[in-house]
Structure 1
Amino acid sequence: MKNMRFNTKISFFRIFSGALILTVLMSGCNKKLDIDSTHLVNEKNNWKSITDTRSALLGTYGLLRAAMADKNAHWLYGELRNGDFQATSRLDLKAIIGSNLNAPYPVVQSLSSWRRFYAVINSANLFIDRAHEVMALDKQYTEKNYQVDIAQMHALRAFAYFYMTRIWGDVPLIKSVNDGSFEQAKRTPKEDVLGYAESELLKAVQDLPYKYGDIFDPVFPGLYYGQGIAAWNGVLLTKVSAYAILAHVAVWNERYIDASGYARFVLDNASKAGSSYMTTALLTRVDGFFYDKNTNQIFGLPFAWSDREASLDGHIEDLTLAAPLVVRPVPQMFMPDQTILSIFDEDKDERFSINAANGRAVTDYFTGFGSSNTIFSKVKCIRNASTDGSLGLFSSAIVFTRLEEIALLYAESMAVLDNMDPAIDALDNVRLSRGLPRYTGPNSGVLDAIFKERRRELMGEGWRWYDQVRYNRIKKSDTQFNKLISTNGIFWPISQDVLSRNSLLVQNEYWR
């Protein structure tokens, strides 16, 4: 490893040109589930050295980040439908908020296409299929390095399938580059897809380290691709990351006993991966949790300023920030003051509360509350943690999960299983860290309190819609929402472009 010369900066997109990314993500062919046949690493020529595996590995992460960032997809999928935000003027955002997902707006139509997620899966499949060849050609690429890399590809593929299942329900299950069903594939029942994702993650966790580049890591001690901890923190999937995703796979599949076990592993082992509960200040600072890459991001995809990865879009700031924070008169989406007051209705909540003495808002989540232009500013990572918004380049990570989120997921699992003491303890861990007292209500109100806390704590992180789905599956008290669940109206329609390229695909029943 000592002869290897690697750039000390980790950048997903410097591996290949922007034009190639655009070709992979956006171009289509009439076969292969609408995936372009061009691969990030040339199949014939570039599986020869350890630098090729590194490029392919980071390229797959880059494709996942692009899939979630494109058109600000992560937040449009997770925050808008039946959510707390309202659109200022954009008709496409208003269509999503109103569940008009067949609306003829380019952004809505783009979000209906799953091609960018299959680009991730295709890249992972290719890596799994070809990476073993490098071991025979480059002795620097060791068996252990190969095992860790393959584990990440299994985990990334599993995450992509889980993410798609939440959006579209049944999706085609493609397990190999050379799978004979690849060209014309039917949709696989969502339960089977989730089962496959779970099996992939369980396979991966055996070989995933807690920390990459750590000489004391029990799974993979020593440098990883010639680099130490600082280069990899918050960049790659760890053992704790995989268990966090497992917890979500199980919960989405309504298997709460398994979910509680997976989430408990995360809570018990988070410190081994460098994760901990955060103060409200650390969560919301310009140079805090969302900035750059760090171990508190249990699974995140960074846009690190230090690696020259900041961008104009692919960040919630692009949707929510406005003057005086950036040069934009009004945000593209906002939260009405009355909604904020109804959500944050407890005194001394550090995220938002009203000072009883003077009636003013005390908040780390909003700017300008009570004015004509209240700004959601919980996430505000501008360039190198700057407060100068004259150039709106953003450097916040796309964060899928963190310790507070998993604590509340564990609390949810325990409450569903009618195990209230650990549910309340986990809930209180989050409440206490936000300046609130312990929960003292009845056991019958614990589940509502947990989902209310998720609504506050995870605001703007892409959870609101999925939380509503899970809550209504459990409570079954909202007739209209549960009808939406029973008729698969919770899922997005499949774009006509995708349907036209595969005659075996059938539109989601709700959208026919």
Structure 2
Amino acid sequence: MATSCKKFLDEKPISTSTDITFWKNENDADKGIAGGYALLRKTLNKANGLAFYAYGDLPTDEFTSVTSYRFDNISTIRWSIAVAAAETGDPMMQMRRYDSFYSAIDQVNRCIKFIPTIPDDKFSSSTSKNNLLGEAYFLRAFNYFYMTRIWGDVPLVTQTGAIADAVDIPRNKASEVLAQCLSDVNMAISLLSWDYANATNRAVRANKGSAYALLAHIYAWQGDYQNCNLTADKIIGQNFYQYVSRDSYLNIYKGKSTEGIFEIAQSGENEGNVFNIANYTLKSPYLTTNTGNAIFPLNTITLKNLFDDPDDERYSNAFALTNSTDPICIKYSNITYVNGQNVITPVAHNNIIIFRLADIKLLKAEALAALNQFDQSRTVLNEVREIAGVGAWNGANSNLFEAIIDERGRELFLEGHRFYDLVRLGRKTGIIKFGDDKMSKSDFDAGKYYWPIDPALMVINKKLTQTPFWSSKM
């Protein structure tokens, strides 16, 4: 799936068998952390390189009439479709399984256990040791937060060995998992620095800003908007990040921009993906190997409703062929072509952008609207709109929360946020707008937005129970 050379994320995870001899110095600790990032990247690239977007974008109003194998079921939220246990490569099975998340978690559990045992004099400084340990706590918090947004209740494992030993572990309540996330991310904040030891690590390794961004999102997901607002201010007040000019909007997705807070590295010259979101959303002339329509067609009604201002630079710079019946998003069009055995293979070099400044600004605006601090909320919302070249929003306060979710839809289109934004919208206002009758209000209230667990996992782990909404449907 991925093509890469000797880079930070190519470090292999550490196995249990090598623990006793491995953890000796700073270089070993760094390799251990690199394994955690590598496994997270693998997880977000499962299901044909699409998992991050298939969870966060595909089942929303961004897309319509997806016909690609299994991704049509994912798009229409028909997540209970039967898949044979032997079909481990089936995208639906991969999306319903959380094995890869736990591989990443086991790796960082190992880092959390062993890095503190390495003598201080084996590190270049105490700051280096603290940053490595902080990255481990950040990664564990991120993996669990990501999982609980997908499945709700998930098994909570904070010790090494339990997963490898195939211990049967029941699902913990989402509230318990999120409590662990809060504990871990606050530990990460206490350990991490703002600055990077190396400029090449910008955004692709966690720093204090990454941890605060994760914390703000956890609070928003919990509906704790008071703390969400306060946490967003920790990032904004530091002035560590700056907007990228919307004239150069596409530079964000090449990675490591001034706006990037946390990203998954895969944009380097010796990195990149053969199968990923670019392959499914682009076409000629941006993807020369596809002379037909985009595999995943965008919902033209959504585009018209979201981008209702012709001066919006995000639309003019991040979309193409907009006057056709098959417009495309070109955020992920940083592509090179490799010749081999008479086959031309496109390789996309785009980081997965997890958190960036505009995301956090709009999250703050969302929090302020939820707290009925409407004037302050409008100020932040209009700041983002002004950067994009559009005028102030002038609607009623009663519609402000939804307007901010729509603004996030414009700003963060195809960046893995839309599905979770719409869940928060539904929880806060009762407004359901996933598109094309993908989810009714009654289904939403019954928890349809949480994914089922693949039955194959329930055979392996006897203590697992099915996600409540899907329990009678699989």
**Is the pair's TM-score, using the shorter chain for normalization, greater than 0.5?**
yes
CA offset digits 1:291-344 (Å, max 9, x no partner) = 1434421010111323x111212x421221111111112322021433322221
Report the Cα offset of residue 372 of structure 1.
4.5
Q: Distance in 2 between matches of 1:438 and 1:372?
A: 30
Output the amino acid matched with 2:280: L
Report the Cα offset of residue 478 of structure 1.
4.6
Residue of structure 2 aligned with 1:14, choices 10, 32, 40? 10
Output the amino acid matched with 1:62: A
Residue of structure 1 aligned with 2:184, choices 200, 224, 243? 200
CA offset digits 1:161-218 (Å, max 9, x no partner) = 00000000000111111569971211111011111101111111011111112xxxxx
Whether the aligned pair in 2 keeps the contact of 1:83 and 1:97 (CA below 8 Å) is no
Change (3 A) 1:92 1:135: same
1:79 matched to which residue of 2? 57
Q: Distance in 2 between matches of 1:73 and 1:85?
A: 15
> What fraction of aligned residue pairs are identical, expressed as a percent?
27
Does residue 1:103 correspond to 2:88, yes or no? Answer: no
Q: Distance in 2 between matches of 1:398 and 1:107?
A: 19
Q: Distance in 2 between matches of 1:129 and 1:182?
A: 20
Output the amino acid matched with 2:324: S
2:390 matched to which residue of 1? 436
Q: Distance in 2 between matches of 1:390 and 1:324?
A: 15
Residue of structure 2 aligned with 1:299, choices 225, 240, 262? 262
1:500 matched to which residue of 2? 459
2:26 matched to which residue of 1? 50
SS at match of 2:353: strand
Whether the aligned pair in 2 keeps the contact of 1:494 and 1:507 (CA below 8 Å) is yes
Output the amino acid matched with 2:76: G
Whether the aligned pair in 2 keeps the contact of 1:87 and 1:93 (CA below 8 Å) is no
1:156 matched to which residue of 2? 139
Whether the aligned pair in 2 keeps the contact of 1:168 and 1:494 (CA below 8 Å) is yes
**Aligned-residue CA RMSD in angstroms?**
2.4
Residue of structure 2 aligned with 1:323, choices 275, 281, 284? 284
Does residue 1:472 correspond to 2:426, yes or no? Answer: yes
SS at match of 2:336: coil
1:359 matched to which residue of 2? none
Q: Distance in 1 between matches of 2:278 and 2:234?
A: 32
2:202 matched to which residue of 1? 233
SS at match of 1:325: coil
Does residue 1:376 correspond to 2:329, yes or no? Answer: yes
Deviates more, 1:78-87 or 1:399-408: 78-87
Q: Distance in 1 between matches of 2:27 and 2:432?
A: 54
With CA pairs under 8 Å and 6+ residues apart, which has the higher RCO, 1 or 2? 2
Change (3 A) 1:311 1:504: same
Q: Distance in 1 between matches of 2:347 and 2:260?
A: 21
CA offset digits 1:204-247 (Å, max 9, x no partner) = 1011111112xxxxxxxxxxxxxxx3222122111111011001
Residue of structure 2 aligned with 1:403, choices 350, 357, 360? 357
1:90 matched to which residue of 2? 68
Does residue 1:487 correspond to 2:446, yes or no? Answer: yes
Q: Distance in 1 between matches of 2:61 and 2:17?
A: 40
Give runs of aligned pairs for residues 347-386 of structure 1, distance below 5 A: 347-352=310-315, 363-383=316-336
Change (3 A) 1:41 1:195: same
Report the Cα offset of residue 88 of structure 1.
4.6
Q: Distance in 1 between matches of 2:327 and 2:452?
A: 33
Q: Distance in 2 between matches of 1:392 and 1:41?
A: 38
CA offset digits 1:2-23 (Å, max 9, x no partner) = xxxxxxx97244323xxxx7xx
Does residue 1:283 correspond to 2:249, yes or no? Answer: yes
2:87 matched to which residue of 1? none
Whether the aligned pair in 2 keeps the contact of 1:78 and 1:464 (CA below 8 Å) is yes
1:312 matched to which residue of 2? 274
Change (3 A) 1:482 1:40: farther
Q: Distance in 2 between matches of 1:197 and 1:469?
A: 20
Q: Distance in 1 between matches of 2:127 and 2:245?
A: 37
Q: Distance in 1 between matches of 2:432 and 2:254?
A: 38
CA offset digits 1:50-100 (Å, max 9, x no partner) = 221111111111111111112210000011113221255313111111111
Structure 1: segments with no counterpart, 5+ residues: 1-8, 22-37, 214-228, 353-362
Q: Distance in 2 between matches of 1:277 and 1:453?
A: 16
Q: Distance in 2 between matches of 1:295 and 1:498?
A: 41
Change (3 A) 1:143 1:378: closer
Does residue 1:249 correspond to 2:245, yes or no? Answer: no
Output the amino acid matched with 1:50: E
Change (3 A) 1:390 1:88: farther
1:268 matched to which residue of 2? 237
Does residue 1:131 correspond to 2:115, yes or no? Answer: yes
Q: Distance in 1 between matches of 2:17 and 2:294?
A: 40
Output the amino acid matched with 2:248: L
Q: Distance in 2 between matches of 1:500 and 1:406?
A: 40
Whether the aligned pair in 2 keeps the contact of 1:125 and 1:177 (CA below 8 Å) is yes
Q: Distance in 1 between matches of 2:146 and 2:387?
A: 29
1:170 matched to which residue of 2? 153
Report the Cα offset of residue 438 of structure 1.
1.4
Change (3 A) 1:88 1:175: closer
**TM, length-normalised to structure 1:** 0.82
Deviates more, 1:390-399 or 1:480-489: 480-489
- Across the two proteins, how many residue pairs are aligned to each other? 446
Give runs of aligned pairs for residues 448-467 of structure 1, distance below 5 A: 448-467=402-421
Output the amino acid matched with 1:498: L
CA offset digits 1:238-271 (Å, max 9, x no partner) = 11110110011011111111111111211112x2
Whether the aligned pair in 1 keeps the contact of 2:321 and 2:328 (CA below 8 Å) is yes
2:297 matched to which residue of 1? 334
Residue of structure 2 aligned with 1:60, choices 36, 41, 55? 36
Q: Distance in 1 between matches of 2:16 and 2:360?
A: 33
Change (3 A) 1:292 1:339: closer
Deviates more, 1:139-148 or 1:170-179: 139-148
2:86 matched to which residue of 1? none
Whether the aligned pair in 2 keeps the contact of 1:40 and 1:123 (CA below 8 Å) is no
Output the amino acid matched with 1:485: F
Does residue 1:69 correspond to 2:51, yes or no? Answer: no
Q: Distance in 1 between matches of 2:412 and 2:440?
A: 22
Report the Cα offset of residue 110 of structure 1.
0.9
Whether the aligned pair in 2 keeps the contact of 1:127 and 1:153 (CA below 8 Å) is yes
Report the Cα offset of residue 391 of structure 1.
4.0
Output the amino acid matched with 2:10: R
